[in-house]
Amino acid sequence: MNLPARPVSRSSRPLLLLTVVAASLAGQLPAADMPKRKPGLWEISTRMEGMPAMGAMQQCIDQTTDDLMQQQARKEQQNCSVIDVKQLGNKVTIHSVCKAQGSTATTDAVFIGSFDSAYKGDMHTRFSPPMHGTSESKMSLDARWVGPCKPGQKPGDVIMPNVGGMNINEMMKDPKIQEMMKRQK
């Protein structure tokens, strides 16, 4: 089932924000053996089938930012019966089967490129039973290293068009966000 394009309500903005940020980092989430991204400023464009395009976001990262996301991923692995990550040259494939909100989410993803300059990713997730009326989702992303972080930016800073900025490192430590993520399981 493809979701129809619709405006984002105020109440769904935090969840959409988390989803987009997680998607931009998806190449880092499934396992510790994923390549690390080059520290600096990354520009990431995501496209989710059935959702309006948000435009490119920018993220300032360092080693700690990727490590924090991988620590969160390791916590989530307990909800997964299958996590298969394979790297061959500049191609990483992922197959996972995880429980989320009473549904089984089966995800297949392919990331191609160099995690120190640019990479692309395609993710396809099927939900059984459907989650919130959605039986599948498809997302693509393009990420490219822009250069050093801008003056005044600190690792974890994310700037999203029409949404503004936040710091993913601080957000992941926020008890309210941690509780919301627990409820999403």
Q: pLDDT tens-digit profile of 106-164?
A: 999 999 998 889 999 999 999 999 988 889 999 999 999 999 999 999 988 888 887 77
Q: What are 58's strand-pairing partners?
A: 43, 159
Model pTM score: 0.73
Closest of 94, 101, 97 to residue 129, by C-alpha: 101
* pLDDT computed for residue 180 by the predictor: 64
Q: What percent of the chain has a predicted confidence (pLDDT) above 90?
A: 29
Higher pLDDT, 33 or 161: 161
Q: How high is the pLDDT of residue 1?
A: 32
Name which residue leads in pLDDT, 14 or 95: 95
Amino acid at 156: G
pLDDT higher at 183 or 138: 138
SS3 per-residue string spanning the chain? CCCCCCCCCHHHHHHHHHHHHHHHCCCCCCCCCCCCCCCEEEEEEEEECCCCCCCCEEEEECHHHHHHHHHHHHHHHHHEEEEEEEEECCEEEEEEEEEECCEEEEEEEEEEEECCCEEEEEEEEEEEEEECCEEEEEEEEEEEEEECCCCCCCCCEEEECCCEEEEHHHHHHCHHHHHHHHHCC
